[in-house]
Amino acid sequence: MTQNEIYKKVKEHSKFKELVKKRGAFVKRLSLLIFIFYFIFILAIAFYPKVLGVTVGGSLITVGIVLGIFIIVLSFLVVGIYTKKANFEFDTLVAQIKQDIRLDV
């Protein structure tokens, strides 16, 4: 079986279509989440810089620093969430697709 035939079988496989649909929707939701928080942060910098400059608890740390760290931590959490879902759900679908294609060969 040639590479093109294998590629065509994978592309037409129902589980591959399911994988592409699920992964695409999941990535869009996670990306939108990060985009919204980052965009709000940028808008806050543009329109409320004095609020972001307020110190927290009388220390040298400001609200802006706390929010910036929050966005960084949120980004790591989103990567972790994606990785967990990819390792358990998406990789399972990929393994099933590979197994089905091997059986057809």
* The pLDDT of residue 104: 66
- In residues, how long is the chain? 105
Q: How far apart are CA 57 and CA 15, in angstroms?
A: 53
List, for residues 67-99, the tens digit of each pLDDT value: 999 999 999 999 999 999 999 999 999 999 989
Measure CA 10 to chain center.
Answer: 24
Give residue-wise pLDDT tens across range 28-38: 999 999 999 99
Per-residue model confidence as pLDDT tens digits over 47-74: 999 999 999 988 899 999 999 999 999 9
